[in-house]
Amino acid sequence: MSTTTGQRPEPSTGAASTPPPSLPEKWRALPLPARNLLGAAVALLVVTAFLAVTGDLTALRLATVGYTFLALAGLQLLVGGSGQISLGHGAFMMIGAYTMALLVLHLPMLPLATNLFIVVAVSAVAGIAVGAATARLHGPYLAGATLILAVGLPGIAHRYHDLFGGSNGLNIRTVGVPPFLDGVVTTSEWRALVVWFTVLLVLAALATISGGRLGRRMRAIRDDETAAAMSGIPVGRTKVVAFIIASAAGGLAGGLQAYALGTVTPSSFALVLSLTLIAALVLGGIGSLWGALWAAVAVVYLEVWASDLARAMDLGHNVQHNLPIVLFGVVLILVLRFWPLGLHGGLQALRNRIARR
Amino acid sequence: MDHFINLTLNGLALGAAYSALALSLVLIYQATRLVNFAQPAFALLSVYAAFAVTQITGSYWLGFGAALITGMTAGAAAERFVVRPIARVSPLNGVIVTLGMLLVVQGAVGMIWGNEQHAFGYAFSYVGRFSPADIFAVSAVAGVALLLFLLYRFTAIGLRMRAAAHHPEAARLSGVRVGLMLTAGWAIASFIGALAGMLAAPPFLYPNVFDIVFVFGITAAVVGGLDNPFGAILGGMLIGLGGSWVSGYVGPELATLSALVIVVVVLSVRPDGILSRPTARKV
């Protein structure tokens, strides 16, 4: 997992900020954070190029892929890294999204970056509370406890209607394109870029964490908790830290969602979100950031393709409405049946087979 | 005081459905070591089957029978053809594939019957304090639990099923058909899941009707201890009572949070559930 963003091959993206096409040794000699940051910079260029080609229409979709990717990367650190299975990741996205919306509504003078920092802090605190309460739980017990969190939390938005806007949620208006870029990019393109900039910056940090000592400790705990404890790893503390990092990433993803969509409703953080996230992660492949990326693409685009397909074939209303969820389920079952390591593992196997020929 | 008694009786009736679903989850956990997220899907399929049969024949009880048979078949087929080849490779994948089945079944049901609500009746009159419908719910679940206890404790097939679940290798060497026993375990569990569905669905039926019931069911199973069927029933009753009291005294939106509080409190004292025995672990 460590160098997954770093190892991105750098073909002719024509970017000035990339290092000269140097020897692999030279690349490996760079410290890990630098490698990850460079990888993130290249990825941002790729996203910008993609946005320039596809234009305004797909900008929102691209932003959706971005924040979903971040949420999944946090979950990846938790599940793939430390082996804790959380079914309540959507709850942290909800906390982040509502924090963002309330900040924009009640403290409109704060700049976006400050808001995002506050979002991270608030969701990290929530992560501390939940992580400390669930540190002793393992396997299905942790899953059950986090599941009920994901289901219970939207109830608060209904209960405190005045503050959280009930089932209608909150609508916010955030700052659009800065003046000097007016006319160059549209508002939604700008938002997509802001989302991806933040996401890639945080992903570089996550990749550095999981490549370092903390990541190693987390994997040791995942593989054998007792053996890890006997080797002197503080098991409880490491697990809580993993939970906090994952919650902060999930919260930030929620905050970015609120920023990109401009609206926050409790129904978008229903049970199905948390379940989709964990299912998508396994679909993409546990244990690598690439897996999280494929998962994010699958979550967003399977739905798009299913809706397009249903509309093109002029299927009935009931079929059209339910095709995305059925398609996601069928793809999930088939991938797990034939590619047990998920899309990432399956693609790797394909690549190896082609390379051997 | 009257209000309290009403809420308590209501909580017991709710708890019966949660207990039944928790029981079905625990049975599958015992047999296959995975939490079956497809349990509400099987229940959903069963109850829609009951809905269709009742519409055609006009008889509630024919529908009831159809539901139980559908549940059993769905559970057995899912174990044999979907879960087994996948869970053999990785247990986590086994859990996630049950989630996939949940999505597929929910969507498919929506495609066939639509996402709107259909009226779906109770077995008996639901009017009054501890109505006949409530009595039926509690006694049906109690009866099933008793039968299950007798099956597992006193019959040869029950012994084989326990052997297959606890020591598959040793059981296989002794001539037990382990695979068949696991399929039978799933069938029995999904039979109980279908019963839970019939108790929990009224008054309306729609594709997401069991989401919250299932969450309470899994919570109940976790609270009681995933290894203990009696724990499932105890957990279901606790969650039902807690939810009923909180809805009555505080507000229905916070009923799920009451379950959260119960989970956190119980699991912080006993991380493996109330009725679990501590196990020694090998390194």
**Whole-angstrom distance, CA of residue A151 vs CA of residue B243:** 14
- Give the per-residue pLDDT at B162: 85
Note whether residue B75 is domain-resident.
yes
Note whether residue A18 is domain-resident.
no
Is the CB of B211 less than 8 angstroms away from the CB of A328? no
Is pLDDT at A1 greater than 70 in this prediction?
no
- Give the per-residue pLDDT at A154: 82
List the single residue in A144, A159, A326 with the smallest CB-CB distance to B253.
A159
> Hey, what's the torsion of the CAs at B251, B256, B261, B262, to 10 degrees?
110
Tokens of A244: 């906090």
List the single residue in B103, B107, B260 with the smallest CB-CB distance to A149.
B260
- Give the per-residue pLDDT at A297: 92
**Whole-angstrom distance, CA of residue A203 vs CA of residue A189:** 21
SS3 annotation, chain B: CHHHHHHHHHHHHHHHHHHHHHHHHHHHHHHHCCCCCCHHHHHHHHHHHHHHHHHHHCCHHHHHHHHHHHHHHHHHHHHHHHHHHHHCCCHHHHHHHHHHHHHHHHHHHHHHHCCCCEECCCCCCCCCCCCHHHHHHHHHHHHHHHHHHHHHHHCHHHHHHHHHHHCHHHHHHCCCCHHHHHHHHHHHHHHHHHHHHHHHCCCEECCCCCHHHHHHHHHHHHHHCCCCHHHHHHHHHHHHHHHHHHHHHCCHHHHHHHHHHHHHHHHHHCCCCCCCCCCCCCC
Is the CB of A322 less than 8 angstroms away from the CB of B111? yes
**Whole-angstrom distance, CA of residue B196 vs CA of residue A130:** 31
Rg of chain A (C-alpha set) = 20
> Hey, what's the torsion of the CAs at B257, B259, B260, B265, to 10 degrees?
130
Total Cβ atoms within 10 A of residue A301: 13
Mean per-residue pLDDT, A265-294: 88
Note whether residue B248 is domain-resident.
no
Is pLDDT at A176 greater than 90 in this prediction?
no
Q: Mind giving me the DSSP string for A19-50?
A: PPS--HHHHHHS-HHHHHHHHHHHHHHHHHHH
Cβ proximity of A97 and A252 under 8 Å: no
**Whole-angstrom distance, CA of residue A140 vs CA of residue B96:** 12
Percentage of chain A lying above the pLDDT 70 cut: 94
- Give the per-residue pLDDT at A7: 46
Q: Which residues of chain B have pLDDT under 70?
A: 277-283
Residue with tokens 């939970």: A243
ipTM value for the complex: 0.86
pLDDT tier at A6, thresholds 50, 70, 90:
very low
- Give the per-residue pLDDT at A101: 92
- Give the per-residue pLDDT at A340: 87
Mean per-residue pLDDT, A26-45: 83
- Give the per-residue pLDDT at A5: 43
- Cβ pairs A/B, distance under 8 A: 150
pLDDT tier at A197, thresholds 50, 70, 90:
very high
Is pLDDT at A2 greater than 60 in this prediction?
no
A171-175, A281-285, B199-203: which has the highest mean pLDDT?
A281-285
Domain count, chain A: 1
List the single residue in A137, A158, A340 with the smallest CB-CB distance to B253.
A158
Q: Is B18 on the interface with A (CB under 8 A)?
A: no
pLDDT tier at A4, thresholds 50, 70, 90:
very low
Residue of B nearest to A223 (CA): B283
List the single residue in A152, A279, A326 with the smallest CB-CB distance to B259.
A152
**Whole-angstrom distance, CA of residue A125 vs CA of residue B235:** 30
- Give the per-residue pLDDT at B278: 62
Mean per-residue pLDDT, A332-349: 89
A136-150, A166-180, A304-318, B14-28: which has the highest mean pLDDT?
B14-28
pLDDT tier at A100, thresholds 50, 70, 90:
very high
- Give the per-residue pLDDT at A143: 85
| Closest Cα in chain B, distance from residue A96 (Å) | 19
| pLDDT tens readout for residues B110-137 | 888 888 888 887 777 777 777 888 888 8
Residues 6+ away with beta carbon under 8 Å from B262: B219, B223, B238, B239, B242
Cβ proximity of B6 and B202 under 8 Å: no
Is pLDDT at A23 greater than 80 in this prediction?
no
Note whether residue B211 is domain-resident.
no
Q: Directed axis angle between helix B255-269 and helix B229-249, to 10°?
A: 140
Mean residue pLDDT across chain A: 84
Closest CA to A66 of A208, A209, A256, A207: A256
- Give the per-residue pLDDT at A3: 42
Range name among A182-186, A266-270, A304-308 with the lowest pLDDT average? A182-186
**Among B residues 222-251, those touching chain A with beta carbons less than 8 Å apart:** 222, 226, 251
| Closest Cα in chain A, distance from residue B87 (Å) | 9
Domain count, chain B: 1
- Give the per-residue pLDDT at A112: 86
| Closest Cα in chain B, distance from residue A343 (Å) | 13
Percentage of chain A lying above the pLDDT 90 cut: 22
| pLDDT tens readout for residues A225-264 | 888 889 888 888 888 899 999 999 999 999 999 999 888 9
Mean per-residue pLDDT, A142-168: 82
Range name among A1-10, A141-150, A226-235, B184-193 with the lowest pLDDT average? A1-10
Tokens of A212: 């370092």
- Give the per-residue pLDDT at A186: 80
Q: Is B266 exposed, middle or buried (0-12, 13-18, 19+ CB in 10 A)?
A: buried
Query: Residue B88's domain spans which residues?
Result: 15-206
Note whether residue B221 is domain-resident.
no
Query: Residue A116's domain spans which residues?
Result: 24-270
Look at the alpha carbons of A38, A44, A49, A52 in this order and tell me if their dihedral is positive or negative: negative
Note whether residue B36 is domain-resident.
yes
Note whether residue A119 is domain-resident.
yes
Q: Is B215 on the interface with A (CB under 8 A)?
A: yes
Cβ proximity of B248 and B53 under 8 Å: no
Total Cβ atoms within 10 A of residue B94: 22
Residue of A nearest to B101 (CA): A329
| Closest Cα in chain A, distance from residue B224 (Å) | 11
- Give the per-residue pLDDT at B46: 93
pLDDT tier at A138, thresholds 50, 70, 90:
confident
**Whole-angstrom distance, CA of residue A316 vs CA of residue B273:** 46
Mean per-residue pLDDT, A118-133: 91
Between A90 and B6, name the one with better pLDDT: A90
pLDDT tier at A150, thresholds 50, 70, 90:
confident
Is the CB of B218 less than 8 angstroms away from the CB of A144? yes
**Whole-angstrom distance, CA of residue A308 vs CA of residue A61:** 14
